[in-house]
Structure formats: structure tokens, C-alpha cells
Structure 1
Amino acid sequence: MDLSQIPLFAMLRGRLGYLSERQQLIAQNVANSDTANFRPKDLKPFSFHVQERSGASSAAAVTQPGHIPLQHGSAGGSAAFQQITAPDSETRLNGNGVVLEEQMMKMSESRMNYDAAISFYQKSLGILRMATRAPGR
């Protein structure tokens, strides 16, 4: 069984890819904290998209008023997340817009989200293992 065919794992893979790329951008911002006229970059907020296969939508139908409609679009596992220039709260005289404290807060937030996604992934795998075990084991 290919885990990428399960929508939950596809979404988690996309989220982990997004967080990994975001950590790289934040590290680049910190590395360029003394570069003149450097503007810090970030990624647009992550959103889950339902992957469409061969023209047919794999989204769940909204059959009850309480269902949340899913957005259609590209797969969550896309490697191309949109970068944006995200100026911090201050700009120094040399034109550099990186504030190390804000970058460290972003890095910490990104790391916590990454750890949570990894934990959710591991727990989901544990549930699948338990479901595939023979009864009584």
C-alpha cells in the first residue's frame, strides 16, 4: 500500500515540506542579517488542497450541512511554495530589514509545527499498524 494515496498522509507530507522550506528561508534571513538592503522572506501561509486525479475530484462530497467544503487545486505536496517578502518590524540604516528576535520566533514556531506534524504522522502510522494486525495479537 502506498501511503501517498491516503489523503491524510498526502496532506501531512505537504505540510512537512512547507515547514522544511520555511525553516530554510528563515535560516537564509538570519544568515543575511548583516547584508545591506536585504529584505527578509517568508512563505505564504500553508493551506491544504485536495489533489485531483485524472480530471475526477477526490474530494469528499458535502452531504450534510455541517460538512466543511474542501478547496480544489494543486496537491498539498507541491514543492513550489510561494515566497513573499515579509519585512520585519524594523529597518536599519543600511537598509537591512532582518530583526533576529522576530526570525527566531518564526523559527521556533515553525519547529513546533514541524514536531507536531511528525508526531501526528507517527501516531497515524501506529493506528494503521494496529488496524492491520491479526485479531488477538
Structure 2
Amino acid sequence: MGLDDIPLFAMLRDRLGYLSERQSVIAQNVANSDTPGYAPSDLKPFSIATGGSQPQLQAVAVTMTSPMHLAPTASKAVSGPYKPRKSADSETTLDGNSVVLEDEMIKMNQTRMDYDAAISFYQKSLGLIRLATKKPGS
């Protein structure tokens, strides 16, 4: 039995993957803050619920039936299971760029705090497992 068989660790792995992808999308937005016509994007909020009110964690394997199915596209720099979506337009400069650096920094800070919290929870959970598997009196 591996850690991925425990639903808590599977959910934390998915959450950390999501946060990593979100950080990449935000970094791409910041890097293109001076690019004319660039529209920022963000990921949909993370959710473990896949149906009904009970969270269900299921591993989904990707089956490649044609080499063209997973071909990279020129417009997508982020790869992974999470798809970027366009952010709400709050400010657009004269050159058509709508990246607001203050908003991106707030998102980056929130993503970092969420990542730190997930890592801390992961470490505490591993500590509890180590404690439970210790020989009594040692």
C-alpha cells in the first residue's frame, strides 16, 4: 500500500499539482505584462468533488490513441490536467494589455500561502503515520 492509496494524500498531491500549475499561469501573466494585446488567464478553482456532495477521488489514466492527440499547441505554454481560462477584464491599457500586476501579485501570494498550508498538512500527516507505526516505548 502506497501513500497514493490513502485518499488524503491523493487529494494533497492533486492540490499541490493544481497550485504548481496556477503559479505557472500567474508567472506567465506577469511575464507578459508589457505585451500588447495580452489577456491574463487563471485556473478554475480547485475542487475534489466530482459528483454529488461526497468527494470522490479517482485516478484517471490518459490513453493516447493517436500521436496527434497530445501535440503541443503554440498558444498554450502550460501543460497538465488543469486548463487556463481567461480572467475577468478589470483594466485594459491603450495597447490592449489587460494584466494588472497588483492582482497578479495577490493571486501569487494566495497561491504561495495555499501551497505552504498543503505542504504543512502533508508533513503533519506523515508525522502521524510515523508515530502510529512506531514500536511502543521507543
Work out whether the TM-score is over 0.5. Answer: yes
CA distance in 2, matches of 1:119, 1:19: 14
Counterpart for residue 82 of structure 2: 81
Counterpart for residue 135 of structure 1: 136
Q: CA deviation at 1:22?
A: 0.2
- Partners of 1:49 and 1:74 within 8 A in 2: no
Do structure 1's residue 6 and structure 2's residue 10 form an aligned pair? Answer: no
Q: CA RMSD in A?
A: 2.1
Return closer, same or farther for 1:130/1:73 CA change in 2, 3 Å cut-off.
closer
Counterpart for residue 95 of structure 2: 94
CA distance in 1, matches of 2:110, 2:23: 10
1:20-57 Cα offsets, whole Å, 9 max, x none, are 0000000000000000110001000000146xxxxxxx
- Partners of 1:36 and 1:95 within 8 A in 2: yes
Return closer, same or farther for 1:82/1:108 CA change in 2, 3 Å cut-off.
same
- Partners of 1:30 and 1:103 within 8 A in 2: yes
SS class of match (2:85): strand
For structure 2, list consecutive stretches of 5 or more residues without a partner in the other structure: 63-79
CA distance in 2, matches of 1:73, 1:115: 22
1:44-95 Cα offsets, whole Å, 9 max, x none, are 0000146xxxxxxxxxxxxxxxxx931447549x941121100342111111
- Partners of 2:29 and 2:40 within 8 A in 1: yes
TM-score computed with the length of structure 2 as normaliser? 0.79
Show the 5 A alignment for 1:19-38. Answer: 19-38=19-38
Flag as ranges the 4+ runs of structure 1 deviating above 2 A: 71-76
Matching residue's letter, 1:22: R
SS class of match (1:129): helix
Counterpart for residue 106 of structure 1: 107
Do structure 1's residue 70 and structure 2's residue 54 form an aligned pair? Answer: yes
Counterpart for residue 124 of structure 1: 125
Return closer, same or farther for 1:116/1:83 CA change in 2, 3 Å cut-off.
same
Percent identity for Structure 1 against Structure 2: 60
> How many residue pairs end up in the alignment?
119
CA distance in 2, matches of 1:72, 1:9: 13
